[in-house]
Each structure stands twice: as structure tokens, then as C-alpha cells.
Amino acid sequence: MQTPIARRLRNGKSPAKPKSAPWLAWAVGLIAAGVALAPWWAGSLYVGPRPVAPEDALMGLLWAAEFPLLGSALVGLLLTGGLVVCAWNIAMWRVPVMRFLLPLMGLIVWMGLSMTFGGSGWNGVLRVSNWMLALVAVVAIPAVVRRNLAAWMMVGALTVSASLLGLRACVEYLQSALAGIPNWRVFGSFFNPNLLAGYFVMSAPFTMGVLLLVGRELRTERMRWLTALLTVGLWLQLSGLVLTASRLGLLSFLLAAGVFFGFALAWRLVSRDFLLRLGVVGILTVGLMWLSQPSAQRLTPQAASQDVHSGAFRIETWKGTWRMALANPILGVGTGNFEVHYPRYASVGYTRSAHSTYLELAGESGFPALILLILMGVGWLTRVLQSELPPPETPTRGRITDWRPLRVGVLAGVAGAVAHNAVDSDVQVLANLLMLACLLALGIALAPDGVFTYPARPMERRATGLLFLVVLGLGVVSSGLGEWFANQARYYALISQIPQAVELYQRARLFDSRNPDYLMELGELYYALGRRETAFTMLEQAVRWKPTPRNLYRLGLYYERDGQPQRAREQFQQVLERDPNNLSALLKLAQMAQPDPNAPHLSDEALRYYQRIVAIEDSPYGRIRAVPEIVETAYGFAHLALARHYQSLGETERALRHYEAALSVFRAYRQQTYPFNRQGRLLGLYNPERERQILQAHLLTLQGYADLLEKAGKRADADALRQEYAKLISEE
């Protein structure tokens, strides 16, 4: 009779597989969780403390990505935690090849230098911290992922997360359609639809590689359900991409699909079953594309010819960013300083990003940073493009897993990212940056000779891991906790509970003392409480930390409100130095240059400012807008002032033209922008004082225009305007 050990032994081999060390499961689990949760928690872009009611804060964090800093902190803790577990237990460290890792580290160092010399402050620290988290992913993933179970865990986490995100996008569109908004472009948990499209452009080709891998390796009938789920997951991701209605996103995916099939065919990996599944997914996706209104409206030739604003705005933004890069070629304007310096070079309106990662990197951090990024990509390709022979079948072990389909998926996903980052600033959000870093790391980990083994002493690796955890982990946690309290403070400020808001802002500054947005908001609250000296100290410091045209303008408004017209005028002039086309500052300077605001006859200085505003309206700055629905009322105020001026001079024809132009602006604002602002009361979009001024100007335009038409003998037209005047009064 055989012993139990003898029964387990066959031909000198034991079927019992060695158990993985518990620390390995912890390391892979933490890293996979961080990358998988990033698009849910860190897909938004920090734009300041957006108000969320305290009872909705947890849902805002876990579902709506209303707390991008706190979400990034949680993701960062998971990643750095996985790195520390690796550092504590791995003696022979698998490090990415230096031709890839060194340029990446050099890029981050150069961004740090640009941040230091450019005076980027808090915004630069945030940008560099995100890239440091990407470096953690690039280092940690190859350390634990080989062609084994760890790779399957990472692949599963990424694929499931992306598929569920696609499902969320579909549900979001259905909810909007049922609510009467059939042309809604889905956001998911991202800042805008284009950034969500950037994520799917990376995840969908990767999922195609996973589907091809599983279809080739798991051919038994009981595993067919897995390929079916992957097929559904791929369709959900492509559906999410379609529902973003991003034309450039779809083009980037088509390029990535071309790369996928190019390598899959060259390596002879494509199977008939895989093509059939892709055919079904393609038919369903094209059907959804034509059934969904946002896609149908934006993807037809007629819509493309009518919707010129988005493309023209993007091209003009690229030109302005290129001018900024050429003017600051070495260190740029400072990492994270785009919003501060770009308006000086802009020929179109306000934007938070360059809509191109490469141009934005060159403009912010200089051309050396862009060169380092290119060198990193070239170094990565030299390892990942290596071909390999299919693994042979052995009598004792059977067929060894062929990982080449997954490598093709990684290549295609990175190709999609490269294409889409050329036309959008995807890596501004941590979710997209981490997804790209994960694909790069998986490509290195699975490639032949993609890593080299480095024997690290315990003190070296553990000290390095703890350094990352303390410096990077605690840094992002402090900013995340600051955002949590600042968000509540903004909410209490909106409901006019000023003392509670001040206390919460002070608590936020305990965690994140260098955030200029918190300081600006706190200064405004102190002014509301009557503590003007403290308020101006904080407001002026916030402007020094973040001298954007918007902050400079806000400080000028407080000087004006405080009875300091000369300082207010100087502040508005500083706005024009940074943003020569700033309509708000031009309008303020024009109004301040008029000794008697009720007198129709303008001073020479005021006349020049108003004429400059009208000239901007006829320039690309006024014609090309990112969001045509947002009407700029400064043009209406300028036309009204000029109409009254020429009317006082007896120049009736010129006055009539300006009255007509002013009325056109105010009507468009009333129909398009005013309802949007009213719906955004809880977001701080509705300013009652400003709306009162716009309404008063609208009424004054109707009255003056009607009087002038009546004098010109056009009584019917004058009566129609007076009826419009009465209707507007009754609505208010």
C-alpha cells in the first residue's frame, strides 16, 4: 500500500503547488486595488472646494469623485502601502530597465526643478506628487508581477474596474435620457467626458488583449463563461467611449485597434472565435453610436461642419501654449503654473489645460521635460517590442501560458494613450496617469528582458519604502483631509453660516496650509465678518501664492468694495498685464474711468476701453468659445455704453447698431446662460448682485432702443420692444 506522500508523487513530480507567501497577496492586492479604484475616486480634476452637503460627503467621495484630493490620497496610500510591503520582503528586486526608468525619474526631477524656479507653489507640488505616485506604480508592479498569478490579479482588477465604469456610463446616459436630456454626454466620475474617453481609449484595447489571451488559453467549455463576460465588458467600455461623444477619443481608439491587429497578425495570434466576438461587439457598438443622440449629433458630417467651436478652440489653445513654450524653453513657466501664465499668450478664452499633454509639459516644464518623456517612451518600446517564440508544450507540464496577446493589448492601450494625449491633457487627472503607468509597468514586467534583478539590502529597500510612505503618503493624506474640511466650509458659507465656515477653513489649513484657494476663501469670509485687516492680509497672500487673473480680479473687487479705488484700479491693470483680453477687468476699468456713471457721454479713457471690448468681440477671442452656450455679457455692457454715448452725440445710426448688438447679447444670455446659472445656485454659480446688474442693463437697452426707434419713425418696432420690457419686468 502506498503512503500518502507516495500517492501524491507521480514520476518524481508533486502535483501540490507551493503556496504563495502571504505578503505577496497583500502587496499585489494593495497595488491592484489602488489602480482599480483610481478611476472611481481620482478621476476628477481639482478646481477648488466644491460644496457638498455633509450628509452627502461620503457618497461624494466614493461615487461622484467630488473630493479628488482625498480620493487621490486614498489611492496613493494603497499604492505606497503595496510598495512598503514589497520593500519589506523582496530581497532580489525586479527593477525596470534603466533606459525606461532613468528618463522617468529624470522627468520628475526636472518637473520639480521647474516647480521650484517657476514658483508654482501648491499647484506644482500637486502635479509632481501625481507623477511620483505613477513612479510608485511603475516600480512596484514589476517587483511582484511575473507571468504568474500576480499578473492575473492585476489584469482582473483593471478589466473589472474599466467594465464597471462602462456600465456606469451607460446607466448615466439612460437616467439622463429618461429625465428628458437625450443629448447628455457622460462624465462618470471624471472631470469631463473627454478625460473619461481618454481612460477608455487605454482600457478597451487592453481588454481586447485579455479577451484574446483567455480565449486562447482557457478553451474548456466550463470556462466559456469567462470569455462571454470579457466580451460584455469590452462592449461596455466601448459603449462608455461612444457615449462620451468624443470624436478624438474614437479616432484614438481606432488607431489603437490598428496597432493591436497589426501586432496580433504579425505574431499570428488572432483566432476565428476572437474575430467573431469582436464582430458582435462592433455591431452592437455601431448600433449604439447611431441610436444615442450625443454621438449621432457630433459624428455626422453635418454636425462636424456646424460644431466648429470645440476644434477651433483646441487649435488656438495649442498655438497659445506653443508660444508660451517657445518663450520659456528651458524650465517653462513652472510645473503646475499653466493657469497663471497661459492667458498672456492666449488668443482665445479661459481654459485650465492645453488640451495636449505634450504641449502642456513643454510649456510648464520646458522642452527638456518633453525630451525626457520621449526618451522614456523610446526606452520602453525597445524592451516591449521584442518578439518571442510561442511556448512549447511539454509532456510533464502541458502547455505553458502564452502571454503575447496581453502584451499586444498593452501595446495597443499605450498607443491609444499616446494618440489621445496629443489632443487632450489626459494625465492631468491621477486616474489616467495611473492607468498609463500600470500599462507601462505591465509591458515591462511581461516583456523578455524588461527588468533586471537588483539585490537590495534590507536597510536600503525598507528605508526607501518608508521614505515614500512618509513623504508622499502623508503629503497626499494631508491635502486630502484639508479638502474634506474645506468642502464643508464652502457648503456652510453658501448657506450663510459664516462662523462655522471660518472654523472649518481654519481646520483645513491645519492640514494643508499652503493651499491658496483655502486662504482666498477664508479671507473673503473674514471680510464678510468685518475683519478687513485680517481679510486683506489673507487675500493678498493668496494672490502672491497663486497670481492667476481670476484671483487678481477678485482682490481688485474687494479693494473697490472697501473704498480703495486707486488700489482696485492698479489690481485690474495687473489683470490685463497677465491676460490682455480679460473682459471683466476691461469693463471695470471702463466704468471706473467714467466720472459720472449715469452720464451717457463717455470720457476718452472709458471710450477706449469700451471700444477695445467691442474689438475683442469681433476677434477670434470672442468668436471662438469652448462652450458657446456661455454668453459673455461684457460685450452687451460695452455696446450699451457706446450706444448711449453716440446717441448723446446725435449719431443715430451708430447708436442703433450698438443698441441692436447689446440687445442680441442680453437676449442670448437670458435664453442660454441665465437658466444654467439659476440651476447652479448650490455650486455658487448664481450671483444675485451680478444678475441684477445684467437685468438692469437689459432693461435699459430695451428702453433706450425703443425710444430711439420711435424717434426714427419705427413705432411698431418700438412697441414690440416695450412689450418685451414689460414681460421681462413681470417675470422678475
pLDDT tens digit sequence for 113-147: 999 999 999 999 999 999 999 999 999 999 999 88
User: Nine-digit cell at 258?
Assistant: 490598428
The Cα–Cα gap between 105 and 121 comes to 21
Whether the model clears a pTM of 0.85, i.e. scores above it, the answer is: yes
Give the Cα separation of 464 and 458 in Å (integer).
Answer: 10
- Local structure of residue 399 (DSSP, 8 states): E
Q: Are strands 393-394 and 398-399 parallel, antiparallel or unpaired?
A: antiparallel
Q: What are 437-465's pLDDT values in tens digits?
A: 999 999 999 998 889 888 878 888 888 88
**What is the structure's pLDDT at 731?**
75
C-alpha cell recorded at residue 306: 456646424
| Residue 226: exposure state from Cβ atoms within 10 A (0-12, 13-18, ≥19) | middle
The more confident residue out of 469 and 243 is 243
Mean pLDDT of the chain: 88
Tally the residues of the chain: 732
Higher per-residue confidence, 496 vs 554 = 554
b/e map 48-71, b = 16+ CB within 10 Å: ebbbbeeeebeebbbebbbbbbbb
The C-alpha atoms of residue 148 and residue 155 are separated, in whole angstroms, by 11
Contact between 327 and 336 under an 8 Å Cβ cutoff? The reply is no
DSSP H helical ranges for 346-422: 357-365, 367-384, 404-421
Angle between helices 193-217 and 272-291 (to 10 degrees): 160
Tell me the C-alpha to C-alpha distance, in Å, between residue 321 and each of 342, 418, 548. Answer: 7, 19, 16
**At residue 75, does pLDDT exceed 70?**
yes
Residue 637 CB contacts under 8 Å (≥ 6 apart), including other chains: 587, 613, 662, 697
> How many CA within 13 A on the CB side of residue 536?
13
How many other C-beta atoms can be found within 10 angstroms of the C-beta atom of residue 255?
18
pLDDT, tens only, 387-425: 888 877 655 455 678 899 999 999 999 999 999 999 999
**Which ranges in 179-292 belong to alpha helices (H)?**
193-217, 224-243, 247-266, 272-291
Task: Give the integer Cα–Cα distance in Å for 185 and 676.
Answer: 16
Q: Are 694 and 669 in contact (CB under 8 A)?
A: yes
- Enumerate the domain spans of the chain: 90-387+397-456, 589-732
Parallel/antiparallel/unpaired status of strands 92-96 and 393-394:
unpaired
Task: Of 148-152, 179-183, 335-339, give the range with the top mean pLDDT.
Answer: 335-339
The secondary structure of residue 470, as a DSSP letter, is: I
User: What would the grid cell of residue 72 be?
Assistant: 487621490
Residue 592 CB neighbour total at 10 angstroms:
19
Phi, psi of 512 (to 5 degrees): -135, 80
Instruction: Look up residue 221 and give its DSSP letter.
Output: G
